[in-house]
Amino acid sequence: MLIVSVVGARPNFMKLGPVAKELASRRLRHVVVHTGQHYDGDMSDAFFRDLDLPHPDHHLAVGPGSHAFQTAAVMQRLEPVLENLRPDLVLVYGDVNSTLGAALTAAKLGLRVGHVEAGLRSRDRTMPEELNRIVTDRIADLLFAPSDDAVDNLRAEGIADEGVHLVGNVMIDTLCQALPRARTFEAPRRHGLEGRPYVVATLHRPSNVDHAGTLRELLETLRELGRSTPVLFPVHPRTQARMASLGLRGDGLRLCPPLGYVEMLGLVASSSLVITDSGGLQEETTFLGIPCLTARPTTERPITCTRGTNRLVPSRRTALLTAARDALRRGPGPRPVIQWWDGRTAQRMVQVVCETVPAPRRSDPRVAVSLSASS
């Protein structure tokens, strides 16, 4: 059996780690293709080192560009790789442009597709990621759902149950494996935050950073919050470029470049509050029991709000400041326990793969030929 994993951005890398380790433990052939969607070394190569991921067997070097450019470039550059390998299964992860481009390419070549983190929905089609999720799930043969609500979404969209597998949240596998190392890294001490309350903030969504007025208001909000509680702000390359073009500065904030996963996890795990627009941080803070404010009107991870520590807040100064000060005053509550978020998702995923692959795709013409011959 030959499995190909296609990854291209930081959230993909964190999902790949546990799957790669489990495939290796079962001695299954595994080829990793890095599309290069995240072209910044701090956002890409550093994560492969930090998480001890297998070195990519192929690097497509797609780089920056519009959504259409990146998706098309992934398809053009991935097609000859898959034609040469003819794998039994192509695994795609999450909801970035690389996810959609790889799923389309594999499906058009008649290859089976597995979608890791299937079924998540924000119901906001202005988000490019939402369109990537919907289309990828329609294409995939194996849909690995992280939670009950994801399964419900797939059923509501008419996707047959036989392809849907509730396996849990693979990002929690990565967190569980990395947390001991993150604790010993002592990131709060390295940043001068040890023994005191502090806030971690991240912003990168187009809805927050591409609109000058919104980005300016968010920075002013963080700056005001920073007058009473230190705010550590690792700046995403997209956000940094936007701030530079608008002449915006981070006075009053503790700005730093993007951090490696272990260092960032150590900071989040010891923080008093996280303010973000990242999907992954919503999940990580829920598992860790850290209060989280998500500066978005919707989330594709509603379980982090209904059963976790996350709260959706408008990207507006008054709303964010009020929610942040309230969260800091109340402090963390009991750490939520969510079924299937137990650090063993990759084991369940690979077991499904071993039981169902190789097998013809649902629409594989070989199936029709076989049935016709037998009749």
Question: What 8-state DSSP symbol labels residue 141?
Answer: S
Q: Show Cβ contacts of residue 254 under 8 Å, excluding neighbours closer than 6 positions.
A: 191, 226, 230, 231, 232, 233
CA-to-CA separations, 192 to 170, 187, 197, 225, 263, in angstroms, rounded: 32, 9, 11, 18, 14
Catalytic residue among 165, 204, 211, 236: 204
CB 115 within 8 A of CB 142: yes
CB 146 within 8 A of CB 342: no
Tell me if residue 204 is catalytic.
Answer: yes
Q: What distance in Å separates the CA atoms of residue 54 and residue 222, rounded to the nearest whole number?
A: 38
Angle, CA of 335, 341 and 347, to the nearest 5°: 150
CB 331 within 8 A of CB 325: no
Under DSSP, is residue 296 helix (H, G, I), strand (E, B) or coil? Answer: coil
- State the catalytic residues: 204
